[in-house]
Every structure is written in C-alpha cells, then in structure tokens.
C-alpha cells in the first residue's frame, strides 16, 4: 500500500506576495499637503470661493477637493481622480 502525502502550501509564501504588491512611499506629496492646508485656511476665514459660481465654500470635503485640484494643476504628486 502506498499512502499519498498532501503538499500544503505555507502561508508565509502568500504573505510575501501580498507585501510585494503594496506600493511604497506617500500617496500625496508635500506640495499637495501644503496646498490643501492653504485652502482649508481660506475656507475658515470665509474667503474660499467655488469655481464658476463663485459661491462661498462651507464644506470641509469641498475645500480639500479644491486644494487637491489646485495641486494637480501645479504638478504636485497627487493620485489621479477616480471618476
């Protein structure tokens, strides 16, 4: 009689593959961070206006989006828009 041994894969090999896929470094550059900080400051002072309409921005998320958009225009390290 012959017995078959099942070869199990070690979980350590899977962990190595997952960590290799992970990107290293920051998503947003220092210039982008500074731009968002500036836009947030403007919003808190009540001076930040939205695009065409020119209405005052009151949303924190909208202020961040405007800051990232401005950083993209200036060529800072910012990921591409999802939509």
Mean pLDDT over all residues of the chain?
83
Does residue 1 register a pLDDT over 70?
A: no
* The pLDDT of residue 65: 94
- Token readout for 69 is 């958009």
- Contact by Cβ (8 Å): 57, 63: yes
Please report, rounded to a whole number, the percentage of residues in the chain having pLDDT higher than 90: 61
How far CA 9 is from CA of 14, 15, 28, in Å, comes to 9, 12, 37
Does residue 4 register a pLDDT over 80?
A: no
Does residue 10 register a pLDDT over 90?
A: no
């Amino acid at each position: 009689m012959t017995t078959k041994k099942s070869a199990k894969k070690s979980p350590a090999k899977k962990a190595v593959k997952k960590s290799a896929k992970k990107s290293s470094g920051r998503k947003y550059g220092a210039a982008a961070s500074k731009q968002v900080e500036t836009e947030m400051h403007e919003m808190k002072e009540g001076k930040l206006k939205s695009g065409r309409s020119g209405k005052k921005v009151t949303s924190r998320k909208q202020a961040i989006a405007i800051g990232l958009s401005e950083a993209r225009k200036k060529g800072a390290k910012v990921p591409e828009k999802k939509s």
